[in-house]
Structure 1
Amino acid sequence: MYSRLYKSLISIPPLAWVAVFLLLPYALMLAHSFWAVRQGFLVHDWTLSNYRTLFSHPVYLQVLFRTLRIAASVTLCSVLLGYPLAYYLSFHAGPRKQLLYQLVIVPLWVSYLVRGYAWKTILGTDGVLNGFLHYLHLTTEPASFLLYSPFSVVLMLTHIYTPFVFLPIYASLEQIPRPLLEASHDLGAGPRSTFLRVVLPLSLPGLLAGSTFAFLLTLGDFLAPLLVGGPSGTMIANIVQSLFGAAYDWPLGAAISMCILLLILSILFLTERLEKRWSHTGASR
């Protein structure tokens, strides 16, 4: 009896923390999304006009689809960089493994703003990359697409989020029993067949987790478009920031935020189901 009472009492602080700092803000945001702004004042009239504006206004839809494209591109590029790197460190790095691992996670110790301004310096019209292209006589004028474009946003976010993709993939690869690889080799399977039939299926949970990290973090990013995106690289989080700031249209900003939150929760639910299915499949094997 006292044990149950003690467990109930110690669970009150974390539950209260979640209720006050998580559930309550979400509830307030949901309520705001059904209100309106008239003549610069917030009016507590229940309406669906904010959601109708979001799904009928071409500008918001264009920015939303651009955000999804950028998030998908960053996820793909991060996987293409992170998976081979994790595979090499796990199976072929040898005594250099710890050193290379530290080099991969070093960017996480550097401020986001510092990395952002570094990319702005590299990609600028007078930056390192344009100077290098001009030195090689590949361009006669500074390449305008390198900065203030979706390309620069994808490049910067890929650099920032690749470690987040690398870490879960590396953890999955490290957990693969090496005797399985030896058994595959003894049964006549080559390196390619072993990778496709053994390594890749067993590393899918880490690949899924890393991809989810990259996609969702990119989906809510607003600083990279401000630093290197420009008007053509504006993302949905920048719209929300503007609506809660200078535009003073909190209800529309709340409606967009609730839709993004619903999208994020749907992705998390889907990835959880996929991870459970792959885990059961791996266990049955």
Structure 2
Amino acid sequence: MAATRFDAEARQGLAMVSPPLIYALLMLAAPLLTILAYSFFKDDYLKVVHEFTLDNYRAVLTDPVFHKVMLRSVIVAMLVTLVTVVLAFPVAYFLSFNVRAERKAMWLFLITIPFWTSYLIRVFLWKAILAENGVVNSVMTLLPFINEPPFGNMLYNVQAMVITLAHAYAPFAILPIYVALEKIDRSLLEAGQDLGESRLMTFWRVTLPLAMPGVVAATLIVFIPTIGDYVTPELIGGGKTPMIANMVQANMLALDNRPMGSALAVTAMIVVTIVSLIFLFLNRRFLKVRQ
């Protein structure tokens, strides 16, 4: 009787899980497996030859251009992640510890407003803001002692890309950190201060370690999509500072070399995975040392 009941519950659970599982396999696993398969095929001038080869990966690993672009992508993604998380933490902290409970929903609503507009529109807005005749320079020239745009053209460099990407992914960093801070038992903070710790040391020894799961989540949520961003390097960077996604696009579309583009994409995913695992390992070591 118990076994029959267990089988019925198992079938019911399987029926509930099957639709999202099938959707995930079709929408995520199938494209990834297709790219992986193409990376082992040959290219014969606008035609894919379905013969197994490792030449694509040999070309990728020995190409100095790939090394330079991949390194730039990792560095830009790290800079964006650092800026985003460092700026997001105070916002999340203020929202969790200083805003009254009945007003937190309104603040969360305001934080999610950027999601209402297309990512492409937000990138174009930053292009208008940072241009030589854009918002920043136009406002500065309104001052009586400034006659010419003081900053010139602020586009087409890494700094402009970092600013744009940090703004785009800020809500993704604020929300997980806020959730982690909300889960902290406030009595632990009070106990720390009762034992004579200052607010700063209580934050360093109690709040920050307990908030690290949110910081780790925010870091990965920002870092992983940023390293594969295509639009911002193309529009804000002006194509002068291409990242790995631009290199994949060039091989896939402009050169119509899908096997090479697939090999680039797979290699980039492996690099991102390794960097992410190293970060998780270092974070775990940091928490062990703190304990």
Q: TM-score, normalised by structure 2?
A: 0.86
Q: How far apart, CA to CA, are the structure 1 residues paired with 2:20 and 2:287?
A: 30
Give how far 1:120 is off: 0.8
SS at match of 1:146: coil
What's the counterpart of residue 105 of structure 1?
A: 112
Aligned counterpart for 2:201 among listed residues 179, 193, 197: 193
Which has the higher mean CA deviation after the structures are superposed, 95-104 or 151-160?
95-104
The SS at the match of 1:183 is helix
The whole-number CA distance in structure 1 between the counterparts of 2:14 and 2:198 is 56
Residue by residue over 1:36-67, the C-alpha shift from the partner in whole angstroms, topping out at 9 and shown as x without a partner, is 21233212232222112212222221111111
Q: Decide whether the 8 Å contact of 1:153 with 1:233 is kept in 2.
A: no
Q: Aligned match of 2:217 in 209, 217, 222? A: 209
- Report 1:253-272 matches (<5 A): 253-267=261-275
Superposition deviation, residue 72 in structure 1: 0.3
Which of 166, 172, 177 lines up with 2:174 in the alignment? Answer: 166
Identity between Structure 1 and Structure 2 (%): 36
Q: Deviations over 1:95-125 (max 9, x none)?
A: 6544433322211222212211110110111
**Structure 1 position 272, deviation (Å):** 6.4
Residues 275 and 9 (structure 1), Cα distance of their counterparts in 2 relative to 1, 3 Å cut = farther
Structure 2 regions of 5+ residues with no counterpart? none
1:54 aligns with 2:60: yes
In 2: Cα distance, 1:174 partner to 1:124 partner: 40
What is the alpha-carbon distance in structure 2 between the residues aligned to residue 206 and residue 115 of structure 1? 26
1:157 to 154, 162, 165: 165
Q: Distance in 1 between matches of 2:43 and 2:275?
A: 31
Equivalent of 2:38, from 5, 27, 32?
32
Deviation at residue 30 of structure 1 after TM alignment: 1.3
Is the alpha carbon distance of 1:18 and 1:100 closer, same or farther for their aligned partners in structure 2, counting shifts above 3 Å?
Answer: closer
Query: Contact between 2:132 and 2:153, CA under 8 Å: does it hold in 1?
Result: no
How many angstroms apart in 1 are the aligned matches of 2:157 and 2:19? 46
Ranges in structure 1 where 5+ consecutive residues have no aligned partner: none
Q: 1:240 and 2:261 equivalent? A: no
Q: CA RMSD in A?
A: 2.8
Q: Matched residues in 2 for 1:244 and 1:74: separation?
A: 26
Question: How much does 1:243 deviate?
Answer: 1.4
Pair 201,123 (structure 1): closer, same or farther in 2 beyond 3 Å: same
Residue aligning to 1:123: 130
CA offset at residue 87 of structure 1?
A: 1.0
Deviation string, structure 1 residues 245-273 (Cα, Å, up to 9, x no partner): 12101011100111122234445556666
- Mark the CA change 1:56 to 1:11 in structure 2 (over 3 Å): closer, same or farther: same
Q: In the TM superposition, what is the alpha-carbon distance from 1:26 to its structure 2 partner?
A: 2.1
What is the alpha-carbon distance in structure 1 between the residues aligned to residue 257 and residue 29 of structure 2? 22
Shift of 1:221: 1.1
Instruction: Check 1:252–1:144 CA distance in 2 against 1; reply closer, same or farther (3 A cut).
Output: farther
* Equivalent residues of 1:126, 1:142 under 8 A apart: no
Pair 38,139 (structure 1): closer, same or farther in 2 beyond 3 Å: farther
Distance 1:139 1:211, change over 3 A: farther
Partner of 1:229, secondary structure, is coil
